[in-house]
Amino acid sequence: MKQQKSDISLATAEHLAQWVSGLRFEQLPHDARRRALQCVIDAVACAAGARDHPAIKQARAFAVLAFPGESCATWFDGLPMSTLGAAFVHASSASILDFDDGHRAASGHPGAAVVPAVLTLARATGSSLPEVLAAVACGYEVGVRLARARNRSGPPSVASGRWTTVAVAAAAARLLRQSPHATANAIAIAESLAPNLLAADHAGFAGSEVKEGIAWSALTGLAAVQQAALGSSGYLGGLDNPSMYGPIDGQAPQPGEPWLIERTYFKPYACCRWIHAAIDAALAMREQPGFSVAAVQEIEVATFARALSLANQRAPESPISAQFSVPFCVALALIDGRAGVEAIESSSLGRPDVLALSSRIRLSLDESLDAMFPVRVPARVRIVLADGPIEQEILIPSGDPDAPMTQAQFTRKLSRLLGRRASGVVDRLIPMIFGQGPWSACEIEEAQRALLAVLAPPGGLPDEEGGTRGHSTRLTSARVTSDSKET
């Protein structure tokens, strides 16, 4: 039976596809380019920090079995794998620590899906760094637009995989220069096949490597592009289903307008973003003169309803469950400081001091704070000490575009996650991310070298001459040009 298409459905899907398929890197504002580069290296660093995680070893084994092939190699270890399999492993790695970026308008995390999918595909196809950044910016723009249009009274899940599938499809279609027709169908197929993830909300996001379905969304988004390229069609009207979405802006960003990627936040702590304001408050009180954990008698965390819907186990059974526990993360921050929540290890789970403090933390709903969600994810922490109470309210957690990580803070995050691989990134990419003005062709070339060196297996790390041993120093053989000319 021939699929029926309405004018409304065509307007959204085809308008998105028209500008996505035709976008040139030169059309991106400089701020969007810098933020896209920051998103890329943040996701890569998160993946690097998780390369030895048990869940990632499982992901590699599964991908080899389910998606055999040798068109790609996995980051950091060079394991031969298919493009779909490698994207699954890389997205699993980028999301498993819960250190990946996010966007308040989406209430979720585009980077851990979009960046691994695009970078994996780029290395298989020989795409340039500017092409990668253009594709990443497109993926964020389409994905966040879709996510912010969700009907909040419909299916309750805010899990990222429900919409990052579409973000990946848009980004990959742009990287491969698919036609508007194929791009529209890739977006539609991805929207239909995205994981539903209703069980994730029911479980409070605790205890499962599935997490927010980000890894599967990366795989599904790429598969949707492959299907559309072969002629498959999707339900274009799905984007205009009023039971699922409000109106979705299908028009291209106008010259001079900021792109949505520019409002990405970056996490300073490896746990659910909904907990970060409470951690910021706890760390601020920890620094007050005379503060002592031994003097703590009672702790109350007042926050918004969605934070209370997390599993919030006071004695979590796994690091993943700990990532979704307000009381455990706040207790860990009060005892160990910032370092305790930059990496939640298995060794932290059974500590008597942390569990004792976590058991004394009471959670409560504050209606005024709840009214700020999803634009804000605030919290107020009140601690009763032996000599009286202290209180701290945080409306905008650190890492937000309105309270951004400094260059030093972001460098610290990269250095901790990348280890000895960080030197080239700090030297070459950090000045491009935090600098002003256009990039030169030389800077882009050096950024490509630095990025490839980070992704290479140990035998391909930088040599003394600044190249790489046993690994290509180019994402592409095409000529790299300066981005200084605006069109």
Q: Please provide the DSSP assignment of 276-316 as one string.
A: HHHHHHHHHHHTSTT--GGGEEEEEEEE-HHHHTS---SS-
**In the CATH scheme, what architecture does the domain 7-263 have?**
Orthogonal Bundle (1.10)
Burial class (CB in 10 A: 0-12, 13-18, 19+), 348: buried
> Which pair of tokens denotes residue 369?
């704070």
Closest of 464, 467, 461, 460 to residue 446, by C-alpha: 467
Q: How many CA atoms lie within 13 A of 190 on its CB side?
A: 37
Alpha helices, DSSP H only, in 364-484? 367-370, 407-418, 422-434, 441-455
> Which pair of tokens denotes residue 432?
């491009």
Please report, as a single letter, which amino acid is at residue 32: A
Residue 374: asked if its preceding bond is cis (omega within 30°), the reply is yes
Q: What is the rounded distance in angstroms from the CA atom of residue 313 to the CA atom of residue 304?
A: 17
Asked whether 448 and 76 are in contact (CB, 8 A), the reply is: no
User: Looking at the DSSP assignment, which residues form a beta bridge with residue 300?
Assistant: 362, 382
Asked whether 60 and 233 are in contact (CB, 8 A), the reply is: no
Q: What is the pLDDT of residue 243?
A: 86
Asked whether 221 and 165 are in contact (CB, 8 A), the reply is: yes
Q: What is the pLDDT of residue 158?
A: 78
* Length of the chain measured in residues: 487
Long-range Cβ contact pairs of 146-151 (< 8 A, separation 24 or more): 146/191, 146/239, 146/245, 146/248, 147/103, 147/105, 147/106, 147/107, 147/108, 148/105, 148/106, 149/245, 149/246, 149/247, 149/248, 150/244, 150/245, 150/246, 151/242, 151/243, 151/244, 151/245, 151/246
Closest of 152, 225, 149 to residue 193, by C-alpha: 225
- Give buried/exposed letters for 260-295 (b at 16+ CB in 10 A, else e): bbbbbbbbbbbbbbbbbbbbbbbbebbeeeeeeeee
The CA-atom distances, in angstroms, between 442 and each of 134, 144, 258, 466 are 19, 32, 26, 14
Q: What is the pLDDT of residue 208?
A: 78
Q: What is the pLDDT of residue 319?
A: 95
> Which pair of tokens denotes residue 421?
């691989």
Q: What CATH number does domain 273-394 carry, 3.40.50.300, 3.30.1330.120, 3.40.50.12780, 3.40.50.670?
A: 3.30.1330.120
Q: What is the rounded distance in angstroms from the CA atom of residue 198 to the CA atom of residue 202?
A: 7
Contacts of 357 (CB under 8 A, 6+ apart): 293, 296, 299, 331, 334, 335
Backbone angles phi, psi at 473, to 5 degrees: -100, 15
Q: What is the rounded distance in angstroms from the CA atom of residue 201 to the CA atom of residue 85?
A: 26
Asked whether 267 and 279 are in contact (CB, 8 A), the reply is: no
Q: What is the rounded distance in angstroms from the CA atom of residue 361 to the CA atom of residue 310?
A: 15
Q: What is the pLDDT of residue 151?
A: 82
- In the chain, domain spans: 7-263, 273-394
Q: What is the pLDDT of residue 437?
A: 85
Q: What is the rounded distance in angstroms from the CA atom of residue 87 to the CA atom of residue 217?
A: 10
Contacts of 15 (CB under 8 A, 6+ apart): 250, 251
Burial class (CB in 10 A: 0-12, 13-18, 19+), 375: exposed
Q: How far is CA 61 from the centre of its chain?
A: 23
Q: Per-residue pLDDT for the chain (487 aa), expressed as one digit of tens each? A: 445 444 444 668 888 999 999 999 999 999 999 999 999 999 999 999 999 999 999 999 999 999 999 999 999 999 999 999 999 999 999 999 999 999 999 999 999 999 999 999 999 999 999 999 999 999 999 999 999 999 876 556 678 999 999 999 999 999 999 999 999 999 999 999 998 877 776 666 666 788 899 999 999 999 999 999 999 999 998 898 888 899 999 999 999 899 999 999 999 999 999 999 999 999 999 999 989 999 999 999 999 999 999 999 999 999 999 999 999 999 999 999 999 999 999 999 999 999 999 999 999 999 999 999 999 999 999 999 999 999 999 999 999 999 999 999 999 999 999 999 998 899 999 999 999 989 999 999 999 999 999 999 986 544 434 444 433 434 543 334 455 443 3
Q: Tell me how many degrees the CA angle 20-22-28 measures, rounded to the nearest 5.
A: 75
Q: What is the rounded distance in angstroms from the CA atom of residue 452 to the CA atom of residue 116?
A: 13
User: Looking at the DSSP assignment, which residues form a beta bridge with residue 477?
Assistant: none
> Which pair of tokens denotes residue 222?
């790429």
Q: How far is CA 157 from the centre of its chain?
A: 17
